[in-house]
Amino acid sequence: MDNVDLNVLRQVSSWLEEKRRVVLGTITRTWGSAPRPVGSVVAVRDDGQIAGSVSGGCIEDDLIAKVREGALNLQSPELLRYGVGAEEATRFGLPCGGTLELMLEPLSAASQIDALLAKLDNGERVQRTLDLRSGAVRLDPPQANADVVKLTETTLTTHHGPQWRLLIIGAGQMTQYLATMALGLDYQVLICDPREEYADTFTVPGATLTREMPDDVVLSFAPDGHCAVIALTHDPKLDDLALMEALKSPAFYVGAIGSRVNQAKRKARLAEHFGMTAEQLARLHGPVGLNIGARTPPEIALAILAHMTAERYGVSPGAELESGCAV
């Protein structure tokens, strides 16, 4: 669940506290093009007020109209499908003939919205299982490699909390921007820097700081396909230790700041002193980030996150930086 949908849950909690009736809609499936991914949510209050979005606006308008007509006075969850035909798809703002399936859930104390928010505020990942007959909800730790959304005849299972993790080596100025922006993109952020002169006064609300050595931190971090590791210290004694372990892992993105000349020297060191293979070294992104002409720390942080996002979605928006991150 991204931060946009988390804000919807916070609004829902506030409405329920005011004793308002609320229906929560969750995208369970899409066909063709759809404006929001599966798992996205929208909430509609009993007077037609809305929080969140699952389309370009037309589906939200339809839900508001249904509320005002009394059609959403649900006693149990109900499945709606929008855009079955091309004409309806156009009407509801679904491009390219897309179709969207939405589970509408009337909320109550049994929905456990506040309990879910408490776990999310604690940084936990949560599996939420909705009983489609009774409307009761069970909250559990997520199963390994579980689907984000699973719909059966009797249950709807969704997963909430940070799905992506980022480990940053170095607690300098660049990290302040990179960590803060990454948190806004729903990454769980861990920062590693054993240097007292950097770590003593460093803080990013929402991120965790550790002073252990980088190689140990990477091993305990246990990067998987939902993890990225970025080295930002410019200190080979720290960056190389992290990279030698990260490049052996399934991390979807491993990068290091520095010029092309420094990257070539780094790869030579990793090969000579740590036995890294050509295949492993080819996974290292450096100079790190997309070539957007970035110069300042926040611009470079933006370039890095843009490249990470492109890698997540398997697209190639352009070449990596020629000089913007060269230091």
Q: What's the pLDDT tens digit per position in 147-170?
A: 678 999 999 999 887 778 999 999
**Cβ-count burial of 295 within 10 angstroms (0-12 exposed, 13-18 middle, 19+ buried)?**
exposed
What percent of the chain has pLDDT above 90? Answer: 61
Query: Which pair of structure tokens corresponds to residue 186?
Result: 């729903």
pLDDT at 70 (0 to 100): 84
* % of the chain at pLDDT higher than 70: 88
Which strands form 227-231's sheet, in the order they lie side by side? 208-210, 187-192, 164-169, 227-231, 253-256, 284-285
Per-residue pLDDT of 77-122, as tens digits, reads 999 988 655 555 555 555 545 678 999 999 999 999 999 999 988 7
pLDDT for 322 equals: 43
Structure tokens at 198: 């950097």
Query: 92 or 300: whose pLDDT is higher?
Result: 300
Instruction: Identify the band that residue 245 occupies on the pLDDT scale cut at 50, 70 and 90.
Output: very high
Residue 19 reports pLDDT greater than 70: yes
Please state the rounded mean pLDDT for residues 23-31.
90
Model confidence at 300, pLDDT cuts 50, 70, 90, reads very high
- Give me the pLDDT at residue 299, please: 96
| Rounded mean pLDDT, 217-238 | 93
Only one residue has tokens 């660049």, namely: 174
**How is residue 85 annotated by DSSP?**
S
pLDDT at 262 over 70: yes
What tokens appear for 55 in the block? Answer: 């389309």
Domain boundaries, the chain: 3-160, 164-313
- Residue 183 has a CB neighbour count (10 Å cut-off) of 18
Amino acid at 157: T
> Which pair of structure tokens corresponds to residue 222?
């246990």
Crossing angle of helices 236-246 and 214-221, in 10° steps, is: 20
Element (H, E) at 20: none
What pLDDT shows up at residue 306?
Answer: 96
Burial 21-32 (b: 16+ CB within 10 A, else e): bbbbbbbbebee
Query: Would you place residue 326 in the very low, low, confident or very high pLDDT band (cuts 50, 70, 90)?
Result: very low
Q: Which amino acid is at 90?
A: T
Q: Please give the full DSSP string across 175-193, using - where no structure is assigned.
A: HHHHHHHHHHTTEEEEEE-
In eight-state DSSP terms, residue 154 is: S
In the predicted model, what is the mean pLDDT of residues 178-199? 92
Average pLDDT over residues 34-63: 85
CA nearest 138: which of 146, 125, 127, 122?
A: 127
Tell me the pLDDT tens digit for each residue of 122-143.
778 899 999 999 999 999 988 7
Q: Give the model's confidence band at 4: pLDDT under 50 very low, under 70 low, under 90 confident, else very high.
A: confident
Mean pLDDT over the full length of the chain: 87
| Nearest residue to 59 (alpha-carbon basis) of 80, 30, 78, 31 | 80
- Look at the pTM and tell me if it is higher than 0.75: no
Give the length of the chain. Answer: 327
Bridge-partner residues for 82, per DSSP?
Answer: 100
Pairing label, strands 253-256, 284-285: parallel
Question: Which candidate, 310, 307, 301, 28, places its Cα nearest to that of 168?
Answer: 301
Residue 38: pLDDT over 80: yes
Residues in a beta bridge with 105: 24
Taking residues 306-319, what's their average pLDDT?
82
- For domain 164-313, which architecture applies? 3-Layer(aba) Sandwich (3.40)
pLDDT of 323 reads 39
